[in-house]
Structure 1
């Protein structure tokens, strides 16, 4: 990730954070990279709404 990328702060339950860290470690990714992957995959699966 580049320094010019937007940063956001989010709150989530500790249990979810722990699971995210575990999954990131298993996938050999940083937590940031794991979150980006999850969000990108979720967005791909969303139905496209016609304009």
Structure 2
């Protein structure tokens, strides 16, 4: 069993798409090392904000 994490001590990462920091979540407990995006929306957009196609 893993040790308890307090909310102040949760690990953070930077989103690969929007470059905003996001915090560890319980649902990511098993694959935190592979998590790259803060949300499904960022995951769907791609790897960089400039890779988005302009909307007409």
TM-score range, shorter chain: under 0.3
Greater RCO between the two (CA within 8 Å, min separation 6)?
A: 2
TM-score, length of structure 1 as denominator length: 0.24
The answer to which structure has the higher strand fraction is 2
